[in-house]
Amino acid sequence: MSDAEDYKGVSVLIVEDEATTRASIRSQLRQIGIHTVSEAADGKAGLNEIARTRPTLVLCDVHMQPVDGRQFLKMVRTVKVEWVKNIPIIFLTADANPDTVSFAKEFHINGYLVKPVSVKDLKTRIDLVLKSLDRSSQAQGL
């Protein structure tokens, strides 16, 4: 994907407890051409935002209160509603702990970026997720 037109119709939910970090991520998303962005300050609010906004993908921190990123990921992946259960989630976190990485893999994380993340790395991961969504839609005949 090369320009903002490629992201038409793409919406992102940022689940992050620090307002300055949410603003920074929003700014990075704008730089790559994604302008439809919603935000939540923890995993519980994130679940509500998924239901409200139906984002294309979610960028999620790991360490938040009261519901952290691990709990959020587990709740999303165990929901009975298919489109919610299968929503792509990318962890954006300073946590490179092998246990966290292992947990993320177990619950089918779609990407894991260690903060601080560059615009280039964020774009690359988002592009990979969007390409996999396109392939999945084509395979299902959608």
Tens digits of residue pLDDT in 2-56: 455 689 999 999 999 999 999 999 999 999 999 999 999 999 999 999 999 999 9
Give the CATH number of the domain where residue 43 resides.
3.40.50.2300
Residue 85 lies in a domain: yes
Domain span at 131: 9-139
Average pLDDT over residues 69-89: 96
pTM score, two decimals?
A: 0.91
Number of domains in the chain: 1
Residue 2 lies in a domain: no
Q: In sequence order, which residues have a C-beta less than 8 Å from that of residue 33 and are 6 or more positions away?
A: 3, 4, 5, 6, 7
